[in-house]
Amino acid sequence: MPYFDPKYPIVKPEPTVDDAIKSTRMGHYFFVGGVTSMSWIYGFTFGKPARFPTAAMAATLGFTFAALSSFCDIRDRLMGFKENEYLIKQWGKAPVQVAAKDPTNYRYPVASKPVGVLRPKVDWDAYK
């Protein structure tokens, strides 16, 4: 993680899916259940010729979206990009933390005056 700038302490620099599942909050379960059920209701409401197959497909899509969204949220928390106090209590901090970046680093360029032409003129004689 040398190029990341997490705002919170890092719990796991390279979290796996197993780590994400073990770190799931109750709010994530409610989010997955709510999105899945609302997707099923949407599919049932608007899938008139074949309501139950449409509802099942919509619920599958809703579950997939909600699970991936929750895993991304958990991954951000494990890597220190979102608030992760409960994960620090659960897992502890990673042994190596990323130091704060120097604002004069090449990743934070300072605006300067334009210095003439950016590209040299093409030497067309070289293409004969």
pLDDT, tens only, 19-76: 999 999 999 999 999 999 999 999 999 999 999 999 999 999 999 999 999 999 999 9
Q: Which amino acid is at 115?
A: V
Q: Are 18 and 93 in contact (CB under 8 A)?
A: no
Higher pLDDT, 115 or 121: 121
* Closest to 1 (Cα-Cα) out of 108, 116, 115, 81: 81
Q: Which amino acid is at 28?
A: H
The number of beta carbons lying within 10 Å of the beta carbon of residue 128 is 4
Output the average pLDDT for the chain.
86
